[in-house]
A and B are shown apart, each in its own frame.
Chain A
Amino acid sequence: MSQEPAFSVRDLHVSYGGQPALKDVGMDIEPCKIIAVIGPSGCGKSTLLRCFNRMNDLIPGAKITGEVLYNGQDIYAKDVDPVTIRRSVGMVFQRPNPFPKSIRDNVAYGARINGYKGNMDELVERSLRGAALWDEVKDNLNKSALSLSGGQQQRLCIARAIAVEPDTILMDEPASALDPVATSKIEDLMQELKEKYTIIIVTHNMQQAARVSDKAAFLYTEVNETGKARWGILVEYDDTDRIFTNPRDKRTEDYISGRFG
């Protein structure tokens, strides 16, 4: 059953401008699974997620130590270009952020900048079908992406991410700005996507984490003695069933059962 992990995180520490944000995270992520990252606000969930495609590099003052092995290769090694990582580790953000371009151009964007040589129409269709959006937009591919509804925009962002043909998709609370109908569409879509992709999703929604994920990581905020510095730690990482029914750690149990956070 045990597979080579897609990601292997060891001793990961992140700080922003000298302030620690995440301490001592270690976890293995198997391919073609959905991993949910849960925890209270400000515990470093997004920070952790952004370590997997080096998006934290874009934040001035961010410092990352430790190892993130991706298919056995350390993505923070000196000779690794973050751009190449991001081509195989896609990302979907909290708020839908399509480019102010046409639907087609949005999907084609990543392929174009990567010098895609194949049939663009075909790629656009395949990606939109993959994001369960094709039937709704196939007659309006030249319309502005901004004319779509929020839920459609988010699926467009997923289509845009899979058009680059990554093997992992990071999702940062992808449904938090959407209504329940759009949310359930995104969740159904995730189940289809995990056939081909490893998905790591940050969510505030416990039910969502329980519904969609195979494994769950619970992060929690630690505060130092003076109460001024706070950072996230990984409390527990296990099968979702286990986390939600029989967590090992008291803090996980308290959080899951809604006693705080």
Chain B
Amino acid sequence: MSAFFGDSGSDCRTNEGVSPLKVRTTQKRRIIADVAARVGMWGATLMVMIPIFLIFYYIAKKGLPTMDWEFLTQSQPFSMRARGGGFVHGLIGTLIMVGLAALISVPLGVLGAIYLVEYGKGRPLAQVVRFFSDVMTGVPSVFVGLFVYTALVIPYGFGAVMGAAALAIIMLPIVVRSSEEMLKLVPRELKEASYALGAGKWQTITRVVLPTAAPGITTGVMLAVARAAGETAPLILTALGSLEIVTKMVGEPIASLPVLVFTGARNPFPAGQERAWAGALELLLLVLVFTLLARIASSRNKLQQ
């Protein structure tokens, strides 16, 4: 044994031959790298947070003074110059159109995702659907607006249904792709357990796969709703706008929060601009409330570990 180790003078019992300095430099390097990475990541997080906080801050600062009970419950005055009034007509319009759009796109999108994950695996049709979903996610929303304008507005006129159709087209690929990711996460073992108990495919999907993926799907749906609630360009082309509450679904232009914010912000009168700020705040809160509700609903559903 000593023929092999004796000459080197290294012995684990005495630490001889092991340079203590060497150990320390590697340690030091590791500590420096660790600190650098940590600082870098905190820095990056801060950089991302700053604009978000600034947006919140400005919208709250500019919007809060105008945001009162009257603003929340009244429609806009006829003249942009006049103070007072509010965006309740836009709030109602947004709720109607986003609600309708969700009613169309969520079932379709979730069913589409089920097809992609459970039925179409490896089939060319699934590849095509997936590819075009990705393309659709990236299509500028104004194109969607133009499409619906040509297909529905020209023959039937402006209206809530047309706006909802445009929003549904925007939401659909988001719902499909996010639901697909969530459905893919359902462990194979769970599906096998269900099949082994004599469940059919559809039973397994409705009773095991969907409930397991539900919280994730809800999050994806909320993303899509938040996106649709803030869309402006397609609504200008399909819903146009209105100065009062509209509940007719087809053939009558209808207001929406983002379009009201847009028109208010680009008009020259301070009263109109103030209402636009308050409208932006209202839209932000609306999306916030939706997201919170969805979080609560899905966490109540989920069985924790």
Contacts and interface: CB of A to CB of B under 8 A. Distances in A.
B305 A97 contact: no
Interface in B266-305: 302-305
A181 interface: no
Interface string A132-148: 00000000000011110
B196 A53 contact: yes
A73 interface: no
Contact of B121 (A60, A114, A160): A60
B128 interface: no
Contacts, number: 75
Contact of B190 (A84, A87, A97): A97
B122 to A, nearest CB: 7
B189 interface: yes
A90 interface: yes
Contacts of B200: 83, 113
Given A100-B212, A101-B211, A101-B303, A109 B195 contact: no
Given A102-B303, A113-B198, A95 B189 contact: yes
A137 to B, nearest CB: 15
A87 B203 CA distance: 14
Given A58-B192, A95-B189, A86 B122 contact: no
Nearest to A106: B193
A89 B83 CA distance: 75
Contact of B192 (A55, A60, A110): A55
Contact of A97 (B122, B193, B304): B193
A38 interface: no
B194 interface: yes
Interface in B102-127: 121-122
A110 B211 contact: no
B152 interface: no
Interface in B199-241: 199-200, 203, 207-208, 211-212
A101 B209 CA distance: 12
Interface string A87-110: 100110101011111100000011
Nearest to B302: A100
Q: Which of A109, A144, A160 has the most CB of B within 10 A?
A: A109
A113 B203 contact: yes
A161 B196 contact: yes
A156 to B, nearest CB: 11
A64 interface: no
B197 A144 contact: no
B303 A110 contact: no
Nearest to B301: A100
Contacts of A164: 197-198
A86 B193 CA distance: 11
A113 B199 contact: yes
A256 interface: no
B195 A93 contact: no
Contacts of B190: 97, 99-100
Nearest to A146: B305
A157 interface: yes
B199 to A, nearest CB: 5
B187 interface: yes
A58 B189 contact: no
Given A97-B187, A100-B212, A147 B198 contact: no
A244 B194 CA distance: 36
Contacts of A83: 198-200
A102 B145 CA distance: 46
A118 B199 CA distance: 19
Contacts of B212: 99-100
Contacts of B203: 113
A99 B208 contact: yes
A144 B303 contact: yes
A233 B185 CA distance: 35
Contacts of A60: 121-122
A97 B198 CA distance: 16
A110 B189 contact: no
B304 A144 contact: yes
A226 to B, nearest CB: 29
Interface of A: 53, 55, 58, 60, 83-84, 86-87, 90-91, 93, 95, 97-102, 109-110, 113-114, 144-147, 157, 160-161, 164
Nearest 4 pairs between A and B by C-beta?
A87-B198, A110-B197, A144-B303, A91-B196
12 contacts: A60-B122, A83-B199, A86-B195, A97-B187, A97-B190, A99-B208, A99-B212, A100-B212, A100-B302, A114-B198, A144-B304, A147-B305
Given A83-B199, A86-B196, 9 more contacts: A83-B198, A84-B198, A93-B192, A97-B189, A109-B194, A109-B199, A109-B207, A144-B303, A144-B304
